[in-house]
Each structure stands twice: as C-alpha cells, then as structure tokens.
Amino acid sequence: MLKPGRDLRRDLRAHGRLVISFLLALVAAMAVSSSAHAGQWPEEKGGQALGEAPELLLTFDDGPHETLSKSILDTLKERNYKAIFFWTGRRVTGEKAGLDERLALVQRAVREGHLVGNHTVNHAKLCSVKKEEAEQEIDDNRKLYETLTGLPMFLMRVPYGARCKRLEKMLAERNIRHTHWDLDPQEFRHHSTDLAVQYVTRKLARLENGKRAILLMHDTQPVTATALPRILDWIEEENVRRLEALSSTLDDQGKRKGRRQRRPDKLPIRIISGSEFVGQRYPAPLLGVAEAGLLEVGQMLRTTSLQILPHP
C-alpha cells in the first residue's frame, strides 16, 4: 500500500484550508446577501456597547422546538447567559406532537430571565402579503405570547428582515421596533457546526472595544444547538487570553508599562442580556419587566396609566 509523501500531505492540508476559507467566504457572502434583502434597517443593529468592552447579544429565531430550544436553554442556564427568543405562533398552537413541551419551554424561558419577541404566527413575508394579513400576523402572535407569558410583547424581529414603508407604519402604530442583527452564520443553509462556529468566532475576534454585535441563530436547527456551546467556549477562552494579555502590560500599581503610546488591547467580550438591551432602547419601566420575568409584573404594567404599550 502506498503511503503519501510529505509533499502530498502538505498539499492536502493546504487544499483543506483553501476549502474551509472558500466555504467561510461563501457563508459571509450569503449573510451579506441576506442583509441586503433585509432593506438595511439602519438603527436596529448592535450599535454602541454600554461600556468600553465589546458586547454580544444572543438571539434565536423560529422556535420554540421541544428538543432544540430545550438544549439551548440548558446551555444558557449552565453558563448563566440570557438571550432573546423571537418565536412564531404556529409552533405553540393547534394539535401537534410536542405541543405541551413547547408551551412549557415558553414558561421556562421567561422564568429563567430570557425575553420573548414577536416573529409572527406563520413566519410571514410581511411586505408581500396583504395589509390585513400582515396586521393579523403581528397582532395575533403578540396576543398569543402575551397570554402565554403574562408579559407585554414589545420586541419583534420581522421574518427575513423584510422592510417596507407599509410595515414601518404598522410597527410604529403598535410601538414596536424591529431588532435586526450583525452576525448571521446562515447555519440553516449549510447545516455545518464547524462553519457556524468559525464564522461567529472570526467575526467576534474582530469586534472592536465599545461595539456591540447581535448574533442571529435559529433554535429550530440542530446545528445551532451543537454550535452554541462551542461558541461560548471560545468566548470564555478568548476572554482568559485577553485578560492575560492585559495583565502583562501593567506594572505592580496597575499602570501601563513603558511610555510609548500603543493601541488599546481588546477587552474581554461581554455577553449582555436581553433586558440590558431593552434598558438602553426602551423606557425604564420596561427594564423592570424584562429582568423580573414575573407574570404579576406584566399584569401590573397593563393596568398602570403609563400607556407605554398601547394594544391595537
């Protein structure tokens, strides 16, 4: 049996790296294409961080799924991270297998401090369907999840990131803002855990101090459930590396060594909760609702005279 020589092994490794680079470039191109199709929501991406460190907001679309959403919630609970889940109504209505488990996951998500956002009943193309149908998709899903959680639903991610003047008017009338994204690994297309992890970690490695990225993944995809722990592992390991690098530049008094000006080191990446995100973009009373995650708080807000969230 012939054994490959050193040159052949080197060529194969180089070829493998080339293939991975090509696939990552393809994922990035698909993400750009997706964002272009989304109409470029200008003010709804991550934007500026709350502090000096780079920040990441975890968001998941399309669920709940009786096993995959559960796996993601388990991972988040183990690491003590909070996320925003943009869920559809069709997955928690009707007679279907796993319905009881999905309903229980909605309650669990709120109980554990996550936020639930509107993603329409049927993952609808809101700029393509008739006006009345689009309004019903938004309103019915909002009422459904407000009933399930006992909390007002003021967060929304428009399916496909669609944008049009008619939709903007609908959202404004309901005091709802679309939450867009910065990082989209397109895991629902390529179904590769490795590609999803490499795309996200490469983007996060370049995230500058004082900037925030919103990560979009899908809790109906097996690859999301397998990629998330690896992404979080990388962040935690990268944060250790960054702390070690920072400590090596300080003297015993905590001051920078040397007199020469240098580019600031990247600070550890901070994963922010949905309630922190809400606290920056919405009125202060809503922050208490998001953090409390209690049914009675939602009821209290509905009965106050603040009228923050007028119901259509």
> What DSSP letter does each residue of 188-210 carry, written as one string?
HHH--HHHHHHHHHHHHHTPPTT
pLDDT above 60: residue 308: no
> Strand, coil or helix: what is 288?
helix
- Does the residue 23 lie in any domain? no
pLDDT interval class at 284 (50, 70, 90): low
Greater pLDDT, 220 or 38: 220
**Lowest-pLDDT range of 103-117, 172-186, 263-277:** 263-277
pLDDT interval class at 179 (50, 70, 90): very high
Q: Mean pLDDT score of the chain, rounded to an integer?
A: 82
pLDDT above 90: residue 23: no
Percentage of the residues of the chain whose pLDDT score is greater than 70: 72
Tens digit of pLDDT for each residue in 102-137? 999 999 999 999 999 999 999 999 999 999 999 999
Ranges 6-20, 24-38, 156-170, most confident? 156-170
* CA-angle at 291, arms to 288 and 296, nearest 5°: 70
> Strand, coil or helix: what is 118?
strand
Greater pLDDT, 200 or 259: 200
Percentage of the residues of the chain whose pLDDT score is greater than 90: 64
- Does the residue 34 lie in any domain? no
Q: CA-to-CA distance for 298 and 281, rounded, in angstroms?
A: 19
- Does the residue 65 lie in any domain? yes
pLDDT above 60: residue 20: no
Q: CA-to-CA distance for 228 and 195, rounded, in angstroms?
A: 12
CB 282 within 8 A of CB 154: yes
**Cα 199 from chain centroid?**
15
CB 188 within 8 A of CB 218: yes
Both tokens assigned to 194 = 């490795």
- Does the residue 282 lie in any domain? yes
In which domain, by residue range, is 130 found?
A: 54-253+263-303
Q: CA-to-CA distance for 136 and 238, rounded, in angstroms?
A: 45
pLDDT above 50: residue 30: no
- Does the residue 36 lie in any domain? no
CB 154 within 8 A of CB 311: no
What pLDDT score does 45 carry?
Answer: 74
How many CB atoms lie under 10 A from the CB of residue 240? 11
Greater pLDDT, 252 or 29: 252
pLDDT interval class at 3 (50, 70, 90): very low
What pLDDT score does 283 carry?
Answer: 57
Mean pLDDT to the nearest integer, 152-167: 95
How many CB atoms lie under 10 A from the CB of residue 80? 10
Please tell me what DSSP assigns to residue 146. H
What pLDDT score does 35 carry?
Answer: 41
In the chain, the largest separation of any two C-alpha atoms, in whole Å, equals 82
What pLDDT score does 41 carry?
Answer: 74
CB 210 within 8 A of CB 54: yes
- Does the residue 24 lie in any domain? no
pLDDT above 70: residue 170: yes
Q: CA-to-CA distance for 162 and 137, rounded, in angstroms?
A: 14
What pLDDT score does 280 carry?
Answer: 83
pLDDT above 90: residue 250: no
Please tell me what DSSP assigns to residue 271. E
The tally of domains found in the chain comes to 1
- CATH (domain of 218): 3.20.20.370
What pLDDT score does 10 carry?
Answer: 55
- Does the residue 47 lie in any domain? no
What pLDDT score does 232 carry?
Answer: 98
Mean pLDDT to the nearest integer, 12-16: 50
- Does the residue 16 lie in any domain? no
What pLDDT score does 247 carry?
Answer: 83
